Chains A and B, each alone.
Chain A
Amino acid sequence: MRFFEFEAREVVRRAGIPVTDYGFTTDPAEAKAIAERIGGPTVIKSQVLTGGRMKAGGVKFADTPGEAEAHAAEILELEINGHMPRGVLVDPRAEVEQEYYAGVVWDGTRKQPVMIFSPVGGIDIEQVAEEQPDKVGRRHFSNILPLSDFQAKEVIASTGVTGSDLNRLVPIVLRLARLFVENDMVLAEINPLGRLADGSFVALDAHMDIENEARGRHKKLLADLGVGEEETRQAREATPFELAGEEVDAQDHRGVAGNVTEFDGDLGLVIGAGGGSLTLFDAVRAHGGRPANYCEIGGNPSVAKACGLAKLVLSKPGVDKIAVMMSIVSNTRVDIVARGVIKACLELGLDPAEKIAIFRIPGAWEEEGFKILERYGVDYADRSVSLNEAARRAVEKIQGAPAR
Chain B
Amino acid sequence: MSILIDASTTFIVQGITGREAVNLTRECLDYGTGAKIVGGVTPGRLGRDVHGVPVFDTVAQAVEHHGAPIDGSVVTVPPAFTKDAVFEAIENGIKLVVIVTERIPRRDVAQMVELATLRGARIIGPNCLGIIVPDVIKMGGIGGPAKNAAQAYTPGPIGVISRSGGMTTEMSSTLSAAGLGQSTAVSIGGDAIIGSTYAELMPLFEADEQTRGIVIYTEPGGRMEAELSRWVTENSSRLPIVAFMAGRFMDEMPGMSFGHAGTIVEGKEDTAGEKIERLAQAGIRVAERIEDIPTMISEQIESRAGA
Contact = CB atoms under 8 A, between A and B. Distances in A.
A389 B248 CA distance: 18
A282 B253 CA distance: 13
A111 B103 CA distance: 17
B289 interface: yes
Interface residues of A, number: 52
A183 to B, nearest CB: 10
Contacts of B254: 235
Contact of A274 (B148, B244, B259): B259
A235 B247 CA distance: 17
Interface stretch (A34-42, A58-66, A168-176, A326-334): A326-334
A120 interface: no
A184 interface: yes
A384 B178 CA distance: 11
Nearest to B197: A109
Given A261-B258, A275-B166, A330 B149 contact: yes
Contacts of A283: 289
Given A278-B246, A282-B247, A282-B249, A328 B110 contact: no
Interface string B222-241: 11101100000000000000
A394 B65 CA distance: 56
Interface string A331-353: 10000000000000000000000
A279 interface: yes
Interface in B269-307: 288-291
B114 A330 contact: no
Nearest to B102: A213
A276 B247 CA distance: 10
Given A142-B114, A144-B115, A106 B166 contact: no
Contact of A388 (B107, B114, B162, B291): B291
B217 interface: yes
A274 B164 contact: yes
A279 B164 CA distance: 11
A278 B256 CA distance: 13
Interface in B167-193: 167, 169-170, 173-174, 177, 190, 192-193
Contacts of A277: 258-259
A388 B244 CA distance: 13
Contacts of B34: none
Interface string A115-139: 0000000000010000000000000
A144 B246 contact: no
B193 A328 contact: no
Contact of A364 (B148, B177, B193, B249): B148
Q: Quick one: which of A235, A285, A331, A388 has the most chain B CB within 10 A? A: A331
Interface of A: 106, 108-109, 111-113, 126, 142-144, 181, 184, 186, 211, 213-214, 216-217, 234-236, 259, 261, 273-279, 281-283, 285-286, 294, 296, 298, 326-331, 363-364, 383-384, 386-389
Given A275-B260, A327-B170, 12 more contacts: A109-B227, A126-B267, A184-B106, A213-B104, A214-B107, A235-B254, A236-B256, A273-B166, A274-B165, A331-B144, A363-B169, A388-B290
14 contacts: A106-B193, A108-B222, A111-B114, A211-B105, A213-B104, A213-B261, A235-B255, A273-B166, A279-B170, A281-B258, A327-B167, A331-B141, A363-B144, A386-B174
